[in-house]
Amino acid sequence: MRKVYNFSPGPAMLPATVLERAREELRGWRSSGVSPMEMSHRGADFIGIAEKAEAGLRAALAVPTDYKILFLAGGATAQFGAAPMNLLRGKTKLAYVETGYWSRKAIEEAKLFADVDVAASSRDGGYATIPPRTSWRVDPAAAYLHYTANETIGGVEFHDTPQSDGLPLVADMSSNLLSRPIDVTRFGLIYASAQKNLGLAGLAVVIVRENLIGRPLPGTPSIFDYRRQADEGSMVNTPPTYAWYMAGLMLEWVAEQGGVEAIERRNIRKASRLYAAIDASSFYSNFIDPAVRSRMNAPFRLADASLDKTFLAAAAEAGLVSLEGHRSVGGMRASIYNAMPDEGVETLITFMRDFEKRWG
Ligand SMILES: Cc1ncc(COP(=O)(O)O)c(C=O)c1O
């Protein structure tokens, strides 16, 4: 089979060793004779798999014991609603920072439950930066402050955890969880869909401080109630067992790489190489404030947009796939999550230089 580097924003590429292991265990997990897909979620084998995945995440991010970890269906989008349902706790206001497509989505969903105050927004500047923290106006009456740690479509990333004026801090880390160390104690709630750095679509992980849960909005369905899910081991209903199993394999892989510190070093190297190549050329451009460029998703444009289709076709021919930008932004986007090796980024850079020589 020819070598392909997959730059998909998600579902994204998985490490070859993880896929290989999944392939082997599909024939039969250990001596059980059944694949992880076919196990009862309440059986001892799956409970072992589930506990190991949770322990892996706890170890990777040093999650303290007063935080619950949940593995839930519905992706991050379900958490756009679950966050207000669980964390409003009698209040009626929420504060959100708007930095792009995904924070906008989170805001729209939160509006179903509360008054949403936008504490800061970069919409007027086309979401090309993050408003300086000093300009944020955080309503002290809000139940929490929410931000999107990495805007997967816009390519904007917070490189520091913002200070929250004493409110519980809530972060959507769908596209940068496990890409760097974080101090979990700074957060009330972290949620992330799994299909970037944690495996398969359909699953979200939730890391929530225990003293924030147990007072859901009246009418909250039981599957969205963090307290019930915590008490029942994320098994209020049948969880997405195979995605949970794959998350466990991804977490073992993270540990084998040397943990999130080592992964961060590689991610910095890959992203700097790619942005340096884009900046060195007048044929390609990235339009994001360099201070907040994402290490995970690098959008870029060709000076002549009429060459976009030619670029994508030639890239695919060279084994570089899924480079098309999101329809709302256009141009290109290279998603370079944890699983993308240095060689993938180097191959892309070489291809871009060759393409420029030919068409520039
Ligand atoms: C930052 C961010 N938040 C939320 C989502 C939504 O995740 P899901 O489609 O799994 O619900 C995505 C999906 O790409 C995302 O990138």
pLDDT, tens digit, 9 for 90 and up, residues 306-341:
999 999 999 999 999 999 999 988 999 999 999 999
Residue closest via CA to ligand 1's atom 4 equals: 76
pLDDT, tens digit, 9 for 90 and up, residues 208-223:
999 999 999 999 999 9
Give the residue among 207, 208, 197 at the shortest CA–CA distance from 246: 197
Residues 210/227, Cβ–Cβ less than 8 Å: no
Residue 1: per-residue pLDDT: 76
Domains and CATH numbers, the chain: 16-256 (3.40.640.10), 258-359 (3.90.1150.10)
Q: Residues 162-170: what's their mean pLDDT?
A: 98
Q: How far is the CA of 358 from the centre of ligand 1 (A)?
A: 37
Number of helical (H) and strand (E) elements in the chain, helices listed first:
9, 14
Catalytic residues, by residue number, are: 102, 172, 196
Whether 102 is in the pocket of ligand 1, judged by its Cβ within 6 Å, is yes
Provide the b/e sequence for 251-283 (b: ≥16 CB within 10 Å): bbbbeeeebbeebbebbeebbebbbebbeeeeb
User: DSSP class of residue 109?
Assistant: H
Q: How far is the CA of 151 from the centre of ligand 1 (A)?
A: 9
pLDDT, tens digit, 9 for 90 and up, residues 74-128:
999 999 999 999 999 999 999 999 999 999 999 999 999 999 999 999 999 999 9
Q: Is 132 exposed, middle or buried (0-12, 13-18, 19+ CB in 10 A)?
A: exposed
Whether 76 is in the pocket of ligand 1, judged by its Cβ within 6 Å, is yes
